[in-house]
Structure 1
Amino acid sequence: MAQLNVGSEIGQLRRVMVHRPELALRRLTPSNCKDLLFDDVLRVESAGKEHDAFQKVLTDNGVEVLQLHTLLAETLAISEAKQWIMERQFTAWRYGPPLQKEVLSCLNDMTLDNMAFHLIGGMTVSELGHYPHSLTMNTLKETDFVIDPIPNHLFTRDTSCWIYGGVSMNPMAKIARRRETVHLRAIYKFHPKFKNADFITYYGDKDVNYDHATIEGGDVLVIGKGAVLIGLSERTSPQGVENLAQALLKTGQAKKIIAVQLPKDRSCMHLDTVFTHMTHDCFSCYQGVNLDTSPCYEIRLGDDELVVAERIKSGLFETLANTLEVDNLRMIPTGGDVFEAEREQWNDANNVLAISPGKVIGYERNVHTLENMEKAGIEVLTIPGEDLGRGRGGARCMSCPIQRDGI
């Protein structure tokens, strides 16, 4: 496998990890979707076809696509890796000793592909079968989960993010997503594509309670030229940013780290829902959030090698222009009037994925924003998103770049 390195947001994208919708999304119901961090119940078959269209655009443009499900199943084929995963997800503390034994026995009787299917998609009491000696089991209904589904694996961007020559395996803010990180840690630790590769692990690969120090990849933009922009959102905390920044700066992989504060609002859950890089001097930007006047900070190492945050007075956009060595930045607004702009931002109009400078993938439904981008000289490759978009994630959210050129 070629060198693992993500040098920018816009350089030629060469390798990416995705996850096609499957069992976990079929588990979504009106009564549980909020707990599983979804606003709606998706039509899984339609979402799957839309995701296939997304993958086809990637492969048609020379991007190698890795499937998370396949990587997980191949990782489970390594006995040490399977044991490592089981020890971190199926403890007696979670289940009680009798049910723990039964769940592990059931999983170990499965094919590796089916095991990966249920690790991601979950398992109900009825699928496991009744086990009367477990007090825990006797308190559950047939439709209760003994393995919770993880439908947010769809958004591979968040769980791990590659930054220059290394990766952060992110401690997730929400309980519903924390098992995702176990899978990514195992893949990067044991899978042949990664085990012997030369990369740095910045953060998140310890069996510790990260407490308030959470971070998600949708808030991390690898701007290029040694710079990283990170959003302080409802899911990425200052503590998480400081810990990641310290590792990036100490390893020398990043030279400049900028943090910008976001509203703690569902509609702008991550930085990339309101702001993404499309070409050297051009960003998509939702005008409903004024990032240029939002508090932003440069994070550097102090004399004692602890991070120091200093408020940036000049504003985010001037700082980014100087960092990118361009005279001015072009900000392409979310399209339409104030109502249309809010609707399209909600439908991930700003959450586009650049596959090369000036060429991005976005949902075809966001017609006003696409028109603005095309007028600015951005080539937009459109994909359907009538169901995928209801998951509140666009092309950038659904992709974890593993290899991308710098600028």
Structure 2
Amino acid sequence: MQPIFVASEVGTLQRLLIHSPDSGLGKVVPSKAQDWLFEDIVHLDTMRKDEYDYYVKILLYFLDPEKVKGKIAQIDADPKRSFYKPDHPEYFNSDKVIEFQKLLADILEQEAIKTKLIAAICAVEHEWYSTQAELNELSPVDLAKTLISGTTPSGEMLFSPVPNLIFTRDIGITINDHLLLNKPAKQARTREALLAQYIFYTHPIFEPLRGKIIELPDNELYFLLPDNEKNYNKTTLEGGDVMMVAPNHLVIGVSERTTVFAAQQSIKILFEKNVVDKITVVRIPFKRDYMHLDTVCTQVKKNVWVVLGSLLKQGRHAEDQIDPTMSGLIPPKADEDVKIVQFYKDGTSPKELASLEELLTQISVEDLGCREEEVTFIFSGNNEFPYGAREQWTDSCNLLALKEGVVIGYDRNDKTLEAFRQKGFRIIRAADLIHEFEEGLSSPETLTDTFILLPSAELSRARGGSHCMSMPILRT
């Protein structure tokens, strides 16, 4: 049985959970787009064949090359790219680049799980008993597709899709050898969280996590609170706000999607279970622009970070009184500065950090052994107005490290890419890199300091980047 362990944002990626765009993305309509957390209507075929196609190929080349090496021409000859999904005979079926839908179909082979999950989903979706009976007649493969897309094989739309499932980062986060489950902030993500729970608790792949899955408790007094206090006292947490930056150090963002209460509960449980020694809580402005912590910064190397420049030096002013408490993380308004408080398992008093710059530098130097003068920040939009904000909106700061110094991100953020070039990174299109791999001109093992460009006209409209589209379960 393969281990499940993540203690870094930039260690060599060995296994991850993804979900390729499904038919539900093609059913988002303008009247429901914002309810389903979309800003726009995407073109599904373009997203699948011309964009996400390269994401899967790159992941396979780095993590499971035998599934794709020498087969690119054959894959590209299939107009439907049927290697994407587990219900097609050409599905790549990797145990390293793991498709969520495949795991769901696997557990639905067990009649007891199938019955329980159908009942749970129908309860969440307010469906009739007759719907349960209808779903029970489906094969595990068809049922998995239906529970995700909301549409039966016959084309009947039983309930809404879960189009955000493409962003698997948010359903859970691997913290050393434990798994922290999410508690979605928005109703639109409730079903995907329930599906994920069943997979994590019952699929054989996650057997190493038995007894190590962490579910955050709800606030038992929540329903007694006045309405003006409820937002800050409910348990909502999403994986885009959680970063495992070092074996001893977890960072949790308090944002539009993750509450102070959830951060408090995470600290309490993780310290009690001795999972980490230090947890830093970073409050970012509660704005749709930012949404999660990983939309404003991600790690590229131990000493290199990509970050939104306007937030880097924000924080406590010299004349401010230090208030290292969780209550100080609750913002009275959406445009508050960044606020950072660090908590320690050994009982040391919490410490407030002055800025995001101080935190990221501390991680590189104290946790990862870099020299302070080597710590480098690469800025969204090259820190030029108005490109910093424009390119952050299209995920310039949301990069997935395949290994230290080799990241994959969107091709549309020109100023940010120029900033990477200035720092010595090679910029190469995913298609060109795949060609190099196929011709033997380079290999994943030999790459250093490289930014791989993912086509992104449609993907970027879904409001999440390559970091969002990945849930690492093993890094070395």
With structure 1 as the length reference, what TM-score do the two structures score?
0.87
Q: Distance in 2 between matches of 1:82 and 1:400?
A: 24
Q: Give CA-to-partner distance per residue, 1:345-399, whole Å, 9 cap, x none.
A: 1110110000111110111111221221233243111111110111011100000
Deviation at 1:300, TM superposition (A): 2.9
Give the match for residue 99 of structure 2. 67
Give the match for residue 51 of structure 1. 52
- Three-state SS of the structure 1 residue aligned to 2:289 is helix
Question: After the TM superposition, which residues 176-325 of structure 1 pair with which residues of structure 2 at under 5 Å, given as runs?
Answer: 176-195=188-207, 200-204=212-216, 212-290=234-312, 293=315, 294-301=338-345, 309-313=350-354, 315-320=358-363, 321-325=365-369
Q: Distance in 1 between matches of 2:361 and 2:168?
A: 31
Q: Is the strand fraction higher in 1 or 2? A: 1
Number of equivalenced pairs: 381
Give the match for residue 356 of structure 1. 403
Please, which of 453, 456, 459 is the counterpart of residue 385 of structure 1? Answer: 456
Q: Which runs of 5+ in 2 are unaligned?
A: 65-95, 223-232, 316-337, 425-448
Q: Give CA-to-partner distance per residue, 1:110-161, whole Å, 9 cap, x none.
A: 121111111111149x955xxxxxxxxxxxxxxxx64221101010000111
Give the match for residue 17 of structure 1. 17
Deviation at 1:80, TM superposition (A): 2.2
- What is the percentage of aligned positions where both structures have the same residue? 31
Q: Distance in 2 between matches of 1:255 and 1:216?
A: 21
Q: Distance in 2 between matches of 1:238 and 1:316?
A: 19
Deviation at 1:20, TM superposition (A): 0.7
Give the match for residue 120 of structure 1. 148
Q: 1:196 to 1:317 in 2, by over 3 A?
A: closer
Give the match for residue 72 of structure 2. none
Q: Give CA-to-partner distance per residue, 1:227-260, whole Å, 9 cap, x none.
A: 1111111101111111112222222221111111
Deviation at 1:403, TM superposition (A): 0.7
Task: Give the root-mean-square deviation of aligned CA atoms.
Answer: 2.5
Give the match for residue 401 of structure 1. 472
Q: 1:301 to 1:254 in 2, by over 3 A?
A: closer
Amino acid aligned to 1:116: A
Q: Distance in 1 between matches of 2:209 and 2:260?
A: 30
Give the match for residue 331 of structure 1. 377
Give the match for residue 141 of structure 1. none
- Three-state SS of the structure 1 residue aligned to 2:63 is coil
Give the match for residue 332 of structure 2. none
Q: 1:52 to 1:204 in 2, by over 3 A?
A: farther
Give the match for residue 132 of structure 1. none
Q: Distance in 1 between matches of 2:386 and 2:453?
A: 22
Deviation at 1:219, TM superposition (A): 0.7
Q: Distance in 1 between matches of 2:158 and 2:98?
A: 29
- Three-state SS of the structure 2 residue aligned to 1:252 is coil
- Three-state SS of the structure 2 residue aligned to 1:253 is coil
Please, which of 104, 129, 133 is the counterpart of residue 105 of structure 1? Answer: 133
- Three-state SS of the structure 1 residue aligned to 2:420 is helix
Q: Give CA-to-partner distance per residue, 1:84-106, whole Å, 9 cap, x none.
A: 32232212x853xxx52111111
Give the match for residue 344 of structure 1. 391
Name whichever of 321-330 and 149-158 sits farther off: 321-330
Please, which of 70, 85, 95 is the counterpart of residue 117 of structure 2? Answer: 85
Q: Answer yes or no: is the 8 Å Cα contact 1:278–1:354 preserved in 2.
A: yes
Q: 1:127 to 1:362 in 2, by over 3 A?
A: closer
- Three-state SS of the structure 2 residue aligned to 1:87 is helix
Q: Give CA-to-partner distance per residue, 1:310-354, whole Å, 9 cap, x none.
A: 423574244323333323221111124211222211110110000
Q: Which runs of 5+ in 1 are unaligned?
A: 129-144
Give the match for residue 135 of structure 1. none
Q: Distance in 2 between matches of 1:199 and 1:15?
A: 21
Q: Distance in 2 between matches of 1:373 and 1:81?
A: 48
Q: Answer yes or no: is the 8 Å Cα contact 1:24–1:122 preserved in 2.
A: yes
Amino acid aligned to 2:53: D
- Three-state SS of the structure 2 residue aligned to 1:335 is helix
